[in-house]
Amino acid sequence: MRHPVRRLLLLIPVLNVACSSDPGNDINGRTDLSSCTATSTIPISLAVGESRTIDVTHQGNCILLPASSSAQEYVVVAYSGYGISNSSGTYAPYALQSMIDSSTAASALGADLRPVLLAAATPSSPAQFELNLRRAERELAQSPLRRLGAVSLPPAAPPAVGDRDSFNVCASTACTAFTRVGATVKYAGNPGVIYLDDHQVAGAEAFDAADLQHFGELFDNYLYATDTTAFGRESDINNDQHIAILVTPAVNRLTTDCTNGRIIGYSFSNDLIPFSPGSNAREMFYTITTSPATQQCGAVTRASALEALPPTLIHELQHMISFNQHVLLRNGTDQDVWLNEGLSHFAEELGWRTVPASRCGDCYSEFAGGDVSNAYAYLNNPELQYLIAPESGDGTLPQRGAAWLFLRWLADHFAADSMLGTQFTRGMEQSSVVGAVRISQVTGVDFPVLVGEWQMANWTDDLPEFPQDGILTYRSWDFRSVYAANYPAEFGKVFPLTPDSTTGAYSHPGTLPAGSGRTVRYKLPAGSAGVTIRMAGTTAGGALTAAIVPWLAVVRVQ
């Protein structure tokens, strides 16, 4: 079943990006497509609902929409099919242009748009912190210390309520130094063990035993079961068959100004490398505790903490499992950072689908609301955001939204149970192969083709009168209804993706980030001539950068 429309609560604020729905024209108001000859142009012949993806580098960079006596509408996406993760990110300039056959000039369709690549709002501190940890884990996967970690430690005694221990906690968001804290076991479950820092914040509400019991049982009975079913098992470095959850003010102190969000909790696979500096040599999470308001941050109450911690833990547990599956079990590299984050956001959505409503205030808002908000921020202007985000970047929320949306669409079509997507998610994690290469292995489809079909689906899903039984849909969501139901209270538009629209003449220069592109609607009136469309490196027809893997996708919607 598709997700029912419900009001979103407690959403992460949408990041506003500079965008426009008005297409641009070249400086002279004319478009010269003489390089698109009869022999170099690919004719498009599609029935309503049919689509095609075109490798611009190897098949040709010009297409021809046919003349017709009746009204037609096509959606064309110019995009980058590049899928290899790297430090700096991959992008290149491009120009998408079109003209009606026998026309000598493009109509004046609006201002010339040359968007600045990734001109997005300042990334949140939590996103940057987590990106720091994921990058550090990729380095750990290559470290000689990791080989030492393969040696089993002596079995540890199972923790019991009242036991005391001490732990290393990140001293800053760089996590290059550690603070030592002492803590006492307040809940001993299976596998979760909750340690409460012995030094809580003065003036804060105190957790009571029932709070920690509820939280521990939620982790043991639902969050852990959901993640291990979806992705596989975590490691057991110290052979105690438990996972420690440290509730400590040291995590609160990582966020000194909550303007861009607050770090709720984290895991760090340094703990899975016993001989690495700062390692606690066990499976661990670190979370905020209750605290009074400060000038820069609001109060963390018992209620707000208990609401924020479950989605954080189900997100972080995926990271822990991923490191075990790829690095410790299979001696490979860690998952690509963009995909690792996307899978953890997928885990949050799974929390909404698997945790009983009786165990949350509003499970949908708590677990899935952030994903829906991040997706809005991406769809608001995909050309400004990566899908394959750079590992040295800022980990923006729109990039996370892109990764979650892409994985959600893939699970919908490449798993027997599209709602939970278990066949797909386990396939992604239980392998030594990572990133886009693994996606192609699991799906059996070339990565650039998948990106193009997904980009088209972002517009055609639940589009009125468009067939909803094929690849260009989401089976698990009706995003048009979700965003419309929450407009204008939470979202600034009824639907975030607003393609440029033209009756044939068009010119837009821009920049393509890896995995993203620009969507244009061609609304051709009855009796219109054919329309030639060209994707080039510049408006003058310069060559495209092949390294960006330029592709075109086209679907007929009317």
Cβ pair 194, 187 in contact under 8 A: yes
pLDDT of 88-121, one tens digit each? 999 999 999 999 986 533 333 333 333 334 433 3
Residue 471's φ and ψ, nearest 5 degrees, are -70, -20
Name residues whose C-beta falls within 8 Å of residue 267's C-beta, 6 or more positions apart in sequence: 133, 284, 285, 286, 316, 317, 319, 320
Integer Cα distance of 366 and 375 in angstroms: 16
The reported pLDDT for the residue numbered 145 is: 74
The vertex-283 CA angle with 442 and 246, nearest 5°, equals 125
Residue 536's φ and ψ, nearest 5 degrees, are -135, 180
The reported pLDDT for the residue numbered 128 is: 86
What is the SS3 assignment for 185? Answer: strand
Cβ pair 501, 98 in contact under 8 A: no
The CA-atom distances, in angstroms, between 228 and each of 223, 246, 317, 325 are 9, 21, 9, 11
Question: What's 399's DSSP letter?
Answer: H
Residue spans of beta strands (DSSP E) within 2-71: 41-43, 51-55, 62-65
The reported pLDDT for the residue numbered 103 is: 52
The reported pLDDT for the residue numbered 125 is: 73
Q: Any bridge partners for residue 324, and if so which?
A: none
pTM (two decimals): 0.91
Which parts of the chain have pLDDT scores under 50? 1-30, 104-123
pLDDT of 170-179, one tens digit each? 999 999 999 9
- H helices of 415-554, in order, are 422-429, 435-443, 447-460, 479-485
